[in-house]
Amino acid sequence: MAAAGDGPWLDDAAGRLVRPYTVSGGRTRPSTTLDLVSQVMATGATPLGHLGPEHGQALERCRVPVSVAEVAAHLKLPAAVTKVLLSDLVDCGALTTKPPRFHHNPTDRSLLEAVLDGLRRQL
């Protein structure tokens, strides 16, 4: 079993020891509008207030521009929970967000191929 400070608190046999809804404090809606392909990036500002370990992991992942979907995959959390975490970081000034370049047509083939290529590079 992983120690409390190690990674996303996983147990080899049981899986995640902390349920996703507890990670977001029971919240299901982010305060910032985020799409799965929205780009987020750390601003360099130190977040104020209490943030959980997943917030820190998300912030570390966002040192370079990255999509919300990539952060969710890295954290092994549902996209809805990841959006809440990321919006917390936007609210405290630690992250900046940029809407997707393909905002007008989310089913555009080139967009889907770009997302797939990005995910393949991460694996």
Residue 61 belongs to some domain of the structure: yes
- Please count the other Cβ atoms lying within 10 Å of the Cβ belonging to residue 63: 10
Domain of residue 31 covers 22-100
Question: Which neighbouring-strand residues pair with 121?
Answer: none
Residue 6 belongs to some domain of the structure: no
Tell how far CA 26 is from the center of its chain.
Answer: 16
Residue 118 belongs to some domain of the structure: no
Residue 81 belongs to some domain of the structure: yes
pTM value surpassing 0.75? no
pLDDT band at 12 (very low <50, low <70, confident <90, very high): low
Residue 26 belongs to some domain of the structure: yes
Number of domains making up the chain: 1
Taking only the tens place, the pLDDT of each residue in 54-106 is 889 999 999 999 999 999 999 988 888 899 999 999 999 999 998 776 556 66
**Which of 17, 8, 101, 102 shows the shortest CA–CA distance to 55?**
8
Residue 2 belongs to some domain of the structure: no
